[in-house]
Chains A and B, each alone.
Chain A
């Protein structure tokens, strides 16, 4: 059994089951047609996957930290990031509570993106 680690989400079965609807939605985004459907009508797309209102709000608000806490796996989150124009580092900055620029300033070589 893993002990909690500060400022870290441990993606275990309980979290995975909690995020089941969100992760199923993200899995669909591995198809170009589904990505277009998401962009065309985000709300209809979320309803199709049976998201509850809390989950829908997290996606509408692009609340990446909240989505992780709601059980979205980070590798699934990347697909929502991509379809909404938020790369890994933008999502990461938000999770750290920083602006994108503030986050980049903490890196050794910010051109390696």
Chain B
């Protein structure tokens, strides 16, 4: 039987990518962030997940507005590293778990009535790769043994072009993922990662807006009352935490899937984004 062993909510700030690639993680501005992930990586190494389901949004790298899915699930053997306009990062491609992805597709579409777009190719970019970088070490090989230590399934959510799915819908999708993983016949351990946020705004005169108080409130509620938090509106998130903070609805998908007690929590807001981290052990 499939089992969700943990959940991680974390920001996917793009500047983390070059910082990792150029070995700058110990610089004073970045050390606090990477230090916070040391215990998380140890915890994940102990949990030994076989698969990570990564709930993220593409940033105009591989998904275009000509046909834009609300929820898109990867159903591929592997996922290429995308070029989002700044070159392709030197990372090993990501090994998928095709059997689990097909099972999730069947269960989510037919049993739980989530009409997903199913993608045979996805080139993943910072929304997906920064969380992978923060949580898992990787080699340079292309296979599971020498590349990333975990297989992964991307679940891409529209948090960019309104109308977006509601926070409640995202939460329910998480609950459905939990049920779908439990009905998987193979014994595998799954970790679910909800990425993006926290407070930030990248356009308009309010560029650079951060609301630390909101971010801490969101972390508190995500831990103590996710069901209630799922009632939050896009309007409230965007007004109080910045337009791009609406990515936080993807953390609710993670929390719908992962229950149990909170293990880690961290917050760091040096520049233009509240970088949050919270984990749950199921």
B207 adjacent to A95 (CB under 8 Å): yes
Contact A2-B234, Cβ < 8 Å, known A79-B85, A107-B271, A112-B271? yes
* Range of interface residues on B (Cβ < 8 Å): 35 or more
Chain A residues closer than 8 Å to B204, beta-carbon distance: 7-9, 65, 68, 95
Interchain CB contact (< 8 A) of A78 among B27, B85, B239: B85
Q: How far apart sit A73 and B207, CA to CA, in the bound complex (Å)?
A: 14
Q: Give chain B nearest CB distance to A18 CB in angstroms.
A: 11
A7 adjacent to B244 (CB under 8 Å): no
Q: How far apart sit A30 and B270, CA to CA, in the bound complex (Å)?
A: 29
A75 within 8 A of B: yes
Chain A: interface residue total (CB-CB under 8 A):
49
A10 within 8 A of B: yes
Q: How far apart sit A74 and B84, CA to CA, in the bound complex (Å)?
A: 13
Most buried by B among A2, A76, A92, A110: A2
A109 adjacent to B83 (CB under 8 Å): no
Chain A residues closer than 8 Å to B217, beta-carbon distance: none
Q: How far apart sit A35 and B85, CA to CA, in the bound complex (Å)?
A: 8
Partner-contacting stretch, out of B40-48, B98-106, B157-165:
B157-165
Q: Mark B73-86, 1 if CB is under 8 A from A, else 0.
A: 00000000011111
Q: Mark B214-252, 1 if CB is under 8 A from A, else 0.
A: 000000000000000000001100110011100000000
Q: Interface residues of B: mostly helix, strand, loop or mixed?
A: loop
B271 adjacent to A2 (CB under 8 Å): no
Interchain CB contact (< 8 A) of B243 among A10, A16, A31, A77: A10
| Cβ-closest chain B residue relative to A97 | B205
Q: Give chain A nearest CB distance to B58 CB in angstroms.
A: 8
A57 within 8 A of B: no
Contact A27-B206, Cβ < 8 Å, known A8-B243, A13-B161, A89-B272? no
B156 within 8 A of A: no
A11 within 8 A of B: yes
Q: How far apart sit A3 and B64, CA to CA, in the bound complex (Å)?
A: 25
| Cβ-closest chain B residue relative to A79 | B85
| Cβ-closest chain A residue relative to B233 | A2
Q: Give chain A nearest CB distance to B219 CB in angstroms.
A: 19
Q: Mark B1-22, 1 if CB is under 8 A from A, else 0.
A: 0000000000000010000000
Contact A30-B61, Cβ < 8 Å, known A5-B243, A11-B161, A73-B160? yes
Chain B residues closer than 8 Å to A29, beta-carbon distance: 85
Chain B residues closer than 8 Å to A95, beta-carbon distance: 203-205, 207
A61 within 8 A of B: no
B114 within 8 A of A: no
Q: A residues near B, CB below 8 A?
A: 2-3, 5-13, 16, 20, 23-24, 26-27, 29-32, 35, 65, 68, 73-79, 82-83, 88-89, 92-93, 95-97, 103, 106-113
- Ordered by A's residue number, 5 sampled pairs between the chains whose C-beta atoms are within 8 Å are A8-B201, A30-B85, A96-B207, A107-B208, A110-B271
Sort A-B residue pairs by CB-CB distance and give the 4 closest, nearest first: A79-B85, A109-B270, A7-B205, A112-B29
